[in-house]
Amino acid sequence: MGNLTGRTALITGAAMGNGLGIARVMAQKGALVIMTDKSEQVFESARRLEESEKGVRTAAYQMDVTDPDCVRDVVREAEAAHGPLHILVNNAGVSLLTDIREMDEKLRKLHFDVNIQGAWNCVKAVLPGMMERHYGRLIHMSSVTGPVVCDPANIAYATTKAALLGFSKAIAIDTAEYNITSNAILPGYFMTPMVQLTAEETDPNDPQRVLDEIAESVPVKRLGRPEEIGYLAAFLASDEAAYITGAEIRIDGGSTLPETSCVGR
């Protein structure tokens, strides 16, 4: 028995990357994992997860977090089929670099729609049921980018990831008496398709160089693995974490630690 046995978790953006890592760990810890994604790849990812991990339980739905009607329908359908949702992980996100001089509106809209409005839509769909039942665990995937640090060309992404902290805290204070917690995870660099794309945008000729340099700049000398975010998310989703709410937790291999690159070296 894991510490999420009997719980049902809906995870957005679960077809790949961090969302898939979170789904894997939560399923290993006993949760019934409702994997959702805009991409139909989510069905194959859920099938493979069930194949590779003995005894885990998953369900998969195609869901675009930017479409409130679609989110509401999937939540209704999932709850009708699998019972009440206890856990929501707002993980779906996009990250594209943009020149500060352009402040491209299309790119701004895409980031705001997926990263902020998407999280809003999902909370709106699950919160009434959680408040009625006096139980809920809400986890939002922010980033160290925005709230703590920022590399160049990240204006659209960084803005959204900082916004999620206010969003998470506002939910935390309004739902604390309902036995609902709301917390934000702030990852550093994790090896996912998103980071592969960032490396390709940065140096189309040699993305591996970018990945190697990122790893070199992190005190633990590597990028994170999606399952490592999964362990943190699973803890925040457990009953043991009942006293943690409105928190922002960094998971970055120490990447935000160095104050200079010279002192004491």
Q: Catalytic residue at 157? A: yes
Supply the angle between the helices 68-82 and 118-133 in degrees, to the nearest 10. 40
The H or E element that residue 73 is part of is helix 68-82
Whole-number Å distance between alpha carbons of 100 and 145: 16
Choose the binding region for ligand NAD from 35-43, 96-104, 126-134, 147-155 (rule: CB under 6 A).
Answer: 35-43
Amino acid at 95: S
How big is the site for ligand NAD, counted in residues (CB under 6 A)?
A: 29
- In this complex, which beta carbon is closest to ligand NAD, that of residue 131 or of residue 215? 215
User: Taking the complex as a whole, how short is the minimal distance between the CB of residue 92 and ligand NAD, in angstroms?
Assistant: 4
3-class secondary structure, 110: helix
Which one of residues 38, 86, 111, 250 is an interface residue with ligand NAD (CB under 6 A)? Answer: 38
Q: Which residues contact 238 (CB under 8 A, 6 or more apart)?
A: 3, 4, 29, 137
Q: How far apart are CA 265 and CA 258, in angstroms?
A: 11
CA distance 114 to 191: 21
What is the C-alpha to C-alpha distance for residues 158 and 201, in angstroms, rounded to an integer?
17
Q: Site mask, ligand NAD, residues 202-241, x = CB under 6 A?
A: ----------------------------------------
Q: Which of residues 103-162 bind ligand NAD (CB under 6 A)?
A: 114, 118, 141, 143
Asked if 182 and 120 touch (Cβ cutoff 8 Å), the reply is no
- Of the residues 195, 199, 232, 233, which one makes contact with ligand NAD according to CB under 6 A: 195
Query: Given the complex with ligand NAD, which of 88 and 194 has the nearer CB atom?
Result: 194
Residue 77 CB, nearest approach to ligand NAD (Å): 16
Site string for ligand NAD, 76-105 (x = CB under 6 A): ---------------xxxxx----------
Return the closest-CA partner of residue 139 out of 117, 165, 178, 162: 165
Phi then psi for 12, rounded to 5 degrees?
-95, 150
Q: Which is nearer to ligand NAD, 88 or 94 (CB)?
A: 94
Backbone angles phi, psi at 109, to 5 degrees: -65, -45
Report the C-alpha gap between 138 and 220 in whole angstroms: 29
Q: Does 64 bind ligand NAD (CB under 6 A)?
A: yes
CB of 240 to ligand NAD, least distance (A): 23
Query: Which residue, 39 or 159, is less far from ligand NAD as judged by CB?
Result: 39
Token output for 19? 């969302």
Among 8, 18, 154, 183, binds ligand NAD (CB under 6 A): 18
Catalytic residues: 157
Chain residues in the site for ligand NAD (CB under 6 A): 12-13, 15-19, 37-39, 64-66, 91-95, 114, 118, 141, 143, 187, 189-190, 192-195
